[in-house]
Amino acid sequence: MVKDEKLKLINEEGTRIDGRRPDELRPLKIEIGVLDKSDGSAYVELGKTKVFAAVFGPREVHPKHLALPDRAILNCRYHMASFSVDERKPLGMTRREIELSKVIREALESVVFLEEFPRTSIDVYIEVIQADGGTRTAGLTAASLALAEAGIPMADLVAAVAVGKIEGHLVLDLCDLEDKYGEADMPVAMAPRLNSIVLLQLNGRLAKEDFRRALEFAKKGITEIYQKQREALRKKYSGVSLMEV
């Protein structure tokens, strides 16, 4: 997309279009247990990006012949509501949504102990209800919390954020305008306790040194998100005694 010459994404002082510093996240809100019908659910709001995740399972596989004898199947569907974006999105699953569902599933597979639930499926649904950049990463952050609420054993939570480059500056947590008109956009997801990267994509170009610094930015953002995830879990379960479980 061609950028309007007058549109300035970042000024000389390093202040971004929405007033943030280069290494600052958008306001983050996390809630767990927001939906009644699913086994686990979470809501993540990062600035104007708003995402729900719902988890069902472990449950019987349909159709049955797809069941695996030694582990659970992890199904994942990332979907953007047609009202979540400016230009109306087609109603069915787009190629982009199919691709994102796959990379999100692969990221979650690196932390979920699937072998504990042979012949079952664990189904993860991510619904983007408002998109303003960073929906796959907010979706992953929400999905891992929904899995935790569903009681699915995991080696760690997954926390995720995008980093990128705009007008020559590295920035954390890109909004839609920064994503569209910037030079590079790199979504990163980590299992922070394991110090392991479970998703890394790069749209655009980054020099080697920029890539290294961008990863540092991502780690900083992920550490903050992870802390909020843990706080949200603690808030939900504090006061629950073993007698109630």
List residues near ligand UDP by CB under 6 A. Answer: 85-86, 89, 131-137, 162, 176, 179, 185, 187
User: Of the two residues 65 and 95, which places its CB atom closer to ligand UDP in the complex?
Assistant: 95
Burial label, 241 (beta-carbon count in 10 A; 0-12, 13-18, 19+):
exposed
What's the closest the beta carbon of residue 73 comes to ligand UDP, in angstroms?
A: 24
User: Of the two residues 82 and 118, which places its CB atom closer to ligand UDP in the complex?
Assistant: 82
What's the closest the beta carbon of residue 174 comes to ligand UDP, in angstroms?
A: 7
User: Of the two residues 128 and 150, which places its CB atom closer to ligand UDP in the complex?
Assistant: 128
3-state secondary structure of 134: coil
Tokens 């999105």 belong to: 89
Cα separation, 214 vs 14, in Å, equals 16
Q: What letter represents residue 83's amino acid? A: F
Among 66, 69, 41, smallest CA distance to 56 is for 41
Q: Do the Cβ atoms of 141 and 225 come closer than 8 Å?
A: yes
User: Of the two residues 15 and 203, which places its CB atom closer to ligand UDP in the complex?
Assistant: 203
Cα separation, 164 vs 214, in Å, equals 7
- Residues facing residue 29 across a β-bridge: 45
What's the closest the beta carbon of residue 39 comes to ligand UDP, in angstroms?
A: 25
What's the closest the beta carbon of residue 128 comes to ligand UDP, in angstroms?
A: 7
User: Of the two residues 57 and 134, which places its CB atom closer to ligand UDP in the complex?
Assistant: 134
Q: What letter represents residue 13's amino acid? A: E
Q: Provide the 8-state DSSP code for 24.
A: -
Residue 36 CA, distance from chain mean position: 22
User: Of the two residues 68 and 85, which places its CB atom closer to ligand UDP in the complex?
Assistant: 85
Cα separation, 143 vs 22, in Å, equals 27
CA-CA-CA-CA torsion sign (128, 133, 136, 140): negative
What's the closest the beta carbon of residue 49 comes to ligand UDP, in angstroms?
A: 6
What's the closest the beta carbon of residue 205 comes to ligand UDP, in angstroms?
A: 15
User: Of the two residues 79 and 147, which places its CB atom closer to ligand UDP in the complex?
Assistant: 79
Q: What's phi and psi for 167, nearest 5 deg? A: 45, 40
What's the closest the beta carbon of residue 199 comes to ligand UDP, in angstroms?
A: 11
